[in-house]
Amino acid sequence: MRICLFPGTFDPVTLGHVDIIQRALPLFDKIVVGIGVNASKNPMFSPEQRMEWFKEIFKEEEKVESVVYDGLTVNFCREISARFILRGIRFVSDFEYEKTIADANRTLDRNIETIFLTGEPKYTSVASTIVRDILKYGGDASPFLPEAVIKSIHK
């Protein structure tokens, strides 16, 4: 079984994240969206909220599940028997950063391969950091967000 981990903070989940998952679906038997708990980041939304968004967005897709995890990504891959890590790339600078992480992960576990998918051009400007700033200052971030996220933010 080809199990893939799509790790990230997803704070919040954006249309870019959803796009990467949808385009990766034909490549894997199962995609586990791993919401990483990062002590150095101060998230706007709880890990449980982010996990619920993915559950709602992909409720019709049995190949996608979302979980919260802590610690090294390669250790979590071993825990869930994932042989692949999925990462989205928007810009060349993303690739340089992601390749460094992929190289470190490969050094830690040669059986886990990182797969890069480039984002659709219409989503390249969508970054969670920008979306958080828009939300923080009362702007309308809906052009960047899935419907499930928009609904829960407006509650």
pLDDT digits (tens, 9 = 90+) for 11-56: 999 999 999 999 999 999 999 999 998 767 788 999 999 999 999 9
List the beta bridge partners of residue 114. Answer: 85
3 state DSSP class of 100: helix
- DSSP label at 38? -
Q: Which of 41, 122, 136, 151 is catalytic?
A: 41
Active site residue 17: yes
Does the reported pTM lie above 0.85? yes
Token pair 């990483």: residue: 36
For residues 139 and 131, give the distance between their C-alpha atoms in angstroms, rounded to a whole number.
9
For 70, phi then psi, to 5°, come to: -130, 150
Identify the domain containing residue 98 by its residue range: 3-154
Task: Look at residue 54 in the predicted model and tell me its pLDDT.
Answer: 97
Q: How many domains does the chain contain in total? A: 1
Cβ atoms of 33 and 115 closer than 8 Å: no
User: Residue 102 sits in a domain of what CATH number?
Assistant: 3.40.50.620
pLDDT band at 154 (very low <50, low <70, confident <90, very high): confident
Is 128 labeled as catalytic in the residue annotation? yes
For the question of residue 81 being annotated catalytic, the response is no
Which of 50, 66, 87, 128 is catalytic? The answer is: 128
What phi and psi values does residue 84 have, to the nearest 5 degrees?
-135, 145
